[in-house]
Amino acid sequence: MEVDGTPAEIRAVLQDLKREEEAAATPKRKSTKPGRAQLPDLLGSLADGGFFKKPQDLAAVKTALGEMGHHYPMTTLSGAMLRQVRGRTLRRMRQDKRWVYVTTR
C-alpha cells in the first residue's frame, strides 16, 4: 500500500479513522428518559416507607402505586415483585391461598 501526502495530512487521516473505528466499536444503547421512575425503584421506595412492614398482597401494591400516579398491570407487577423476592429485598409468604409480601429488613 502506498500513501501520498505530507506527514501532517497522513496523521490527520489516521486520527479520523481511529475516531470512526471507536465510534463504530461502542454499541449504541437506548437510554431511558432522565427522571423517569422505574418499577424496581418505586417498589424500593414503598419498602423504605414502611409499606411492607405488614403483609401486603399484589392488589394492595397496585393500589399504592396507583395512588402515587404509577399505573401498572398486575402481570407486570407480579414479575417485578418476584424479582424483588429473588433479590431478597422482600419475602413472599402464602396467606389464605394468596401470596403476600413483607420486608426482609
> Do residues 61 and 42 touch, judged by C-beta distance below 8 A?
no
pLDDT tens profile 26-43: 666 666 667 788 999 999
C-beta pairs of 59-64 under 8 Å, 24+ apart in sequence? 61/101
Per-residue pLDDT of the chain (105 residues; tens, 9 = 90+): 777 888 888 888 889 888 888 877 766 666 666 778 899 999 999 999 999 999 999 999 999 999 999 999 999 999 999 999 999 999 999 999 999 999 986
| Cβ neighbours of 40 (radius 10 Å) | 13
| Cβ neighbours of 104 (radius 10 Å) | 12
Model pTM score: 0.66
Kindly tell me the burial class for residue 39, based on how many C-beta atoms sit within 10 Å of its own C-beta (0-12, 13-18, 19 or more).
Answer: middle
Q: Which CATH number fits domain 39-103: 1.10.10, 1.10.3470, 2.30.30, 1.20.1510?
A: 1.10.10
Would you kindly state where each structural domain of the chain is located, as residue ranges?
39-103
